[in-house]
């Protein structure tokens, strides 16, 4: 399993559009991608669940990736966070 922490810099947090793009990105991979904030977590392939985490600017999220292509998936998701959130 691969994982990383990320502090959200976008001023409205993980809002609808980046959440949607994140879902698209996550769906490209076999691996399961989960995003956790505090004790809540959501599969990155589920838009409303991701938005439902209510991630705001300054929040730290933990992203966990597990599966056959986890290295590539983790790298891609990390890049996605850095350039969009």
**What tokens appear for 5 in the block?**
């922490």
Q: In 3D, which of 47, 3, 1 has the Cα closest to residue 25? A: 47
Asked if 1 touches other proteins (CB under 8 A), the answer is: no
Contact pick of 24, 28, 69, 79 for other proteins (by CB under 8 A): 24
For the CB of residue 49, give the shortest distance to other proteins in the complex, in Å.
Answer: 6
Q: Which is nearer to other proteins, 46 or 62 (CB)?
A: 46
Binding site residues, other proteins, CB under 8 A: 7, 9, 11-13, 15-17, 19-20, 23-24, 45-49, 51-52, 54, 56, 82-83
């Amino acid at each position: 399993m691969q994982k990383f922490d990320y502090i959200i810099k976008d001023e409205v947090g993980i809002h609808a559009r980046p959440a949607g793009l994140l879902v698209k990105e996550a769906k490209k991979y076999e691996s399961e991608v989960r995003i956790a904030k505090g004790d809540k977590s959501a599969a990155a392939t589920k838009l409303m669940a991701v938005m439902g985490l209510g991630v705001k600017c300054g929040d730290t999220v933990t992203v966990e990736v597990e599966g056959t292509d986890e290295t590539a998936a983790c790298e891609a998701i990390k890049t996605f966070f850095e350039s969009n959130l």
